[in-house]
Structure 1
Amino acid sequence: MSQKIMVGVVESIALPSLKLANIATRIDTGAKTSALHVDHIVVDDAQRIVHFEFHPDFHDIKKTIKCSAPLHDRRWIKSSNGEREQRCVIKTQATLGASLSWDIEITLTDRSSMNHLMLLGREAMEGVVIVDPEAHFLASERSPEPDPE
Structure 2
Amino acid sequence: MKKIVLLMCLSGLFASFYSVAEKRSVGPVEYIKVTELDNFKFLTRIDTGANTTSIHAFDIKVNNDAGKMKANIGKTVTFTTMNEKKEFRTYQAQIVDVVTIRNSIAKEQRYQVELSLSWRGESKKVVVNLSDRKKMSYKLLIGRNWLQGDYVVDVEMQPEE
| TM-score (normalised: structure 1) | 0.81
State the partner residue of 1:145. none
Aligned partner of 2:120 among 76, 97, 102: 97
Q: Compare the two structures and name the one with the higher strand fraction.
A: 1
Per-residue CA distance 1:85-122 (angstroms, 9 max, x = gap): 10010012111012x11111100011111110100011
The root-mean-square deviation of aligned C-alpha atoms, in Å, is: 1.8
Corresponding residue SS for 1:124: helix
1:17 paired with 2:8, answer no
Answer 1 or 2: higher relative contact order, Cα 8 Å, separation at least 6.
1
State the partner residue of 2:92. 68
State the partner residue of 2:140. 118
Per-residue CA distance 1:105-145 (angstroms, 9 max, x = gap): 100011111110100011221001110123221xxx23xxx
| TM-score (normalised: structure 2) | 0.75
Per-residue CA distance 1:24-74 (angstroms, 9 max, x = gap): 11000011111001111011257711100112345x4xx521111111111
State the partner residue of 2:62. 43
How many residues are paired up? 133
Aligned identity (percent) is 30
State the partner residue of 2:12. none
Measure the CA separation in 2 of the matches of 1:51 and 1:21. Answer: 16
Aligned partner of 2:129 among 107, 117, 123: 107
Measure the CA separation in 2 of the matches of 1:65 and 1:107. Answer: 16
Measure the CA separation in 2 of the matches of 1:15 and 1:45. Answer: 26
Paired residue type of 2:92: S
List structure 1 runs of 4+ shifted beyond 4 angstroms: none
Q: Compare the two structures and name the one with the higher helix fraction.
A: 2
Segments of structure 1 that go 5 or more residues without pairing to the other structure are 143-149
Alignment check: 8 A CA contact 1:18 1:68 kept:
no
Alignment check: 8 A CA contact 1:18 1:69 kept:
no
Corresponding residue SS for 1:114: coil
